Amino acid sequence: MPKPSTPPTRQAAPANQDPLTPEAQAWLSYLGTQRRASPHTLTSYQRDLGKLQTLCSGRMLAEIKPADIRRFVAKLHAGGLEARSIARTLSCWRGLFRWLLARGQLAANPVLGIRPPKAGKPLPKALSVDAASALLDATPEDVLEMRDIAMFELFYSSGLRLAELGGLDLTGTCSIAEGEVTVFGKRSKTRRVPVGGKALEALTSWLEVRATLAAPDEVALFVSQRGARLSLGMIRARLARWAREKGAPQHVHPHMLRHSFASHMLQSSGDLRAVQELLGHASIRSTQVYTHLDFQHLAKIYDAAHPRAKKKA
């Protein structure tokens, strides 16, 4: 009979790191045997505990105070560790000290109430004007691509959200004659959005052939090969595929076209309130992120044009 396997009581230390303290090793063993933590989790925790051990510089864990933890966090942040990684590290440390506290080896948990630095909110990614044109100027080769171009043009022309475009109906929401669409946005708010010339042309072409796909009683503006309303997932997939085929240098998704619409509108008009209305943002703060994108655009122009900003050859 094979011998029953016994769970290890110690974890192997990563290269170039001293073995963990007995308390840390015991906690990892507890997590692995009693809590059934995954090997990936144990490896991550071992790295985080190694950071703590390095920062403690030989001090006993029972001697660590909240002020020490704050100083450790500041060092990790100054060393380039991202806020999300610091949050995970603090979670690991908090768990260790909580376990030691429950075993009577500590008087208090020094990590309680310690928060990681706030993570910076990444700017939305937008296509350049040239990249957007290259994506949309291609000629459709069949009925499905005529539908797709109409959808993509509408995303970029009117800044629609994915759910807003997918929810458009043949009547009541799309008015080719008036050059606008009526969409139902977040929190069931309705807004009317103008549609540009290129998008109107693409929509007109699609409507001329829509009946070849749509079921007789289907009211959706955009339909699948089976004749029913096109799913949101399929809209995403068709756009990603189209972008790959046209040589886009990055993954393109519907919200990127919405971001591109907002950024390009703001660059051209400078009217933040108008862009807010077109996007259907309840707060101007949601729209102000595009001022940062606009500033990046202006900064590039400045660097290329200003005589004191040009780099010497």
Active site residues: 161, 186, 255, 258, 281, 290
Q: Helix or strand or coil: residue 109?
A: coil
Give 285's contacts (C-beta < 8 A, 6+ positions apart).
none
- The CA-based angle 304-306-308, given to 5 degrees, is 115
What does the buried/exposed string (b/e) look like for 185-221 if buried means 16 or more CB atoms within 10 Å of the residue's CB? beeeeeeebebeebbbebbebbbeebeebbeeebebb
Angle between helices 22-33 and 83-102 in degrees, nearest 10: 90
3-state helix, strand, coil in the chain (%, to 5): 55, 5, 40
Amino acid found at 249: P
Q: Are 96 and 31 in contact (CB under 8 A)?
A: no
Closest CA to 142 of 219, 240, 225: 225
* CA proximity to 39, closest of 4, 3, 12, 5: 12
